[in-house]
Structure 1
Amino acid sequence: MHKILSDKKTIIWLVAPGLLLISLLIFIPIAFSFNYSLTDWKGVGTYQYVGFSNYADIFGGDSIFWKSLLNSILLAAGLILIQHPFSILIAMLVQYCGRYEKFLRICIFIPAIISTFVTTKLWTSIFDTQFGLLNRLLDIVHLPDWKQDWLGDPVWAIICIIFVCMWQGFGYAFLLYYAGIKGVSKDLHEAAMLDGASQFQLNMRIVFPLLMPVIRVNLVLAVVSAFKQMETVYLMTGGGPANSTQFMSTYLYSKAFRESLYGYGNAISILLVVICLIVTVIMNRALSREVEG
């Protein structure tokens, strides 16, 4: 084995199929997308190269693009500050539920395996102004003044979308944290208990620090998913009302396929890739220091 791994030609032949596949599926499409981002192509017919004018238009005065970027950042913040701390807490509590542990684990993960279309339509009907369950419940508890046009008001619409996205992804976050907690050696638990540590001290001083590698991976995945969020937004509001719930992916789709500005849409896609790469590198470095520390 050592002889094979020391042969550079052999290593190249072993790595080449993977590199070729990655190039065909990732690098080459990105290169084509960048090429189209430099054109005024409308998706069909001929086109002309316009240089970086699409990027200049985005940075120069496209307020909707910046709104979509802000919404993506808000969703990422919601996932990091609300969804993940809560999922860690639930994962720690579920392990103490005895014979109900498996049942609770299944119930928590169910939303994550249901079709996005089904769950989105479910929540859309709940938020419906006239026949939605939420407004009906507010009538039942005698709080009619709290009733809202949940998906018709710009502020409430983005709040509802962030909530639904966190609800849909909660099961995956919970499962990863639960697996990480279960992976902590029982010997450490027993040693801590013999030293007189409480359950709270055990979780905070032993389990949580050992969970940092899992937290690192989970947070990076959460931020990337926030920036490429599309299905839930498209099915619930389509980016409305008045583009208040546009995310980068939905705005890209709108420009490329609704307005036939294919070159402009590709420029947005390239910026999306660049932003995701920058955020991933920054978070990996920041969280690596936490893990090593």
Structure 2
Amino acid sequence: MHKLMSNRITIFWLVAPGFMLFLFMVCLPIVMSAYYGTTNWTGIGAYDFVGLDNYTNILFHDGVFWRSLLNALLLLAATLLIQHPIALLFAIFVTHAGKLEKWFRAIFFIPAVISIVVTSKMWVSVFHPNFGMFNKLLEGMGLSAWKQDWLGDPKLAIWCIIVVVMWQGFGYALLLYYAGLQGIPKDLYEAAELDGAGRVKLYTRVVIPLLSPMVRVAVVIAVTACLKQMETVFLMTNGGPANTTQFIGNYLYKTAFSSSLYGYGNAISVVFVIICLILTLAMNKAFKKDVGEF
């Protein structure tokens, strides 16, 4: 085996199929998108070369694009600062739930296994201004003055979308932290308790530091999910009202296929890829320090 792997020609032919597939499936589409992004093609028929006009328009004049990116960053901030800490707390609770552990684990993961179409349409009904459960609940509590057109108000709609997306992804975040907690040896808990560590110090000084590798995975997944968010937005508001709930994926789809601005849509995709690469490099630098194993 060593002799086989030391043969460069053999290594080349072993690597070549995967490398060619990567070039064909990843690199070539990006190059083609970059090219079409320099045209005014509608997706059908002839087109003209417009140079970097599409890219400069995106970067300096397209407020909807930057609003879409801001919404993704708002969702990411809410996910990391609200959803994940709560998921960690619930994961700790589930690990100490005893005989009810399996039941709680299943209940908390239910939103993640239900179709996004179903959950999105359910939440549209919940937020409906006339017969929605949320407004009916406020009315029943004597808070009729608080009733709103939740998905129709430009100031409230984005926060409704963020709440729904975090609710849908809560089960995945909890499962990641639950799996990380299961991987920590019980001996460490016992040793910390013998040393006099209370419950708070046990988790802040022992458990959470040992969860660092899982936190890294959870953050990467969260960044990816927030940036590529589309389905929930498309089904609930389609970016409205007035593009206040627009996300890059949905904006790209509407631009390229609904508005038939295929060249401009490709330019958006290329800029989006560059932003993702920058964030990837930033995350790699932030997580550069290796975490010790236990």
- TM bucket (normalised to shorter chain) is over 0.9
Distance 1:78 1:288 in 2: 24
Distance 2:281 2:168 in 1: 26
> Who is 1:248 aligned against?
248
How many residues of Structure 1 are paired with residues of Structure 2 in the alignment?
A: 292
Q: CA deviation at 1:231?
A: 0.4
Q: Which amino acid aligns with 1:144?
A: S
What does the per-residue CA deviation read over 1:31-59, in whole Å, with 9 as the maximum and x for residues that have no partner?
21111111110010011221111001112
**Residues 11 and 190 of structure 1: CA distance in aligned 2, closer, same or farther (over 3 Å):** farther
Equivalent pair of 1:224/1:280 in contact (CA under 8 Å):
no
Q: Which amino acid aligns with 2:111?
A: P
1:58 aligns with 2:63: no
Q: Which amino acid aligns with 2:213?
A: P
Distance 2:223 2:274 in 1: 14
Q: Which amino acid aligns with 2:86?
A: F
Q: CA deviation at 1:22?
A: 2.2
Equivalent pair of 1:64/1:246 in contact (CA under 8 Å):
yes
Q: Which amino acid aligns with 2:79?
A: L
Residue aligned with 1:55, SS: helix
Equivalent pair of 1:124/1:236 in contact (CA under 8 Å):
yes
Q: Which amino acid aligns with 2:253?
A: Y
Residue aligned with 1:3, SS: helix
Q: CA deviation at 1:30?
A: 1.4
Equivalent pair of 1:58/1:65 in contact (CA under 8 Å):
yes
Distance 1:276 1:243 in 2: 22
1:21 aligns with 2:9: no
Distance 2:288 2:174 in 1: 21
Distance 1:72 1:150 in 2: 19
Equivalent pair of 1:216/1:284 in contact (CA under 8 Å):
no
Gaps in structure 2 of 5+ consecutive residues: none
> Who is 2:73 aligned against?
73
> Who is 2:268 aligned against?
268
Distance 2:118 2:259 in 1: 28
Q: Which amino acid aligns with 1:245?
A: T
Alignment of 1:1-293 (within 5 A): 1-289=1-289, 291=291
Q: Name whichever of 22-31 and 234-243 sits farther off.
A: 22-31
Distance 2:89 2:29 in 1: 41
Distance 1:163 1:264 in 2: 31
Distance 2:6 2:202 in 1: 46
Q: CA deviation at 1:272?
A: 1.1
Q: CA RMSD in A?
A: 1.4
Q: Name whichever of 153-162 and 46-55 sits farther off.
A: 46-55
Gaps in structure 1 of 5+ consecutive residues: none
Stretches (4+) displaced over 4 A: none
What does the per-residue CA deviation read over 1:6-33, in whole Å, with 9 as the maximum and x for residues that have no partner?
2222222222222222223222211211
Residue aligned with 2:287, SS: helix
Distance 1:282 1:14 in 2: 32
Q: CA deviation at 1:290?
A: 7.6
Q: Name whichever of 201-210 and 174-183 sits farther off.
A: 201-210
Residue aligned with 1:289, SS: coil
Distance 1:219 1:157 in 2: 25
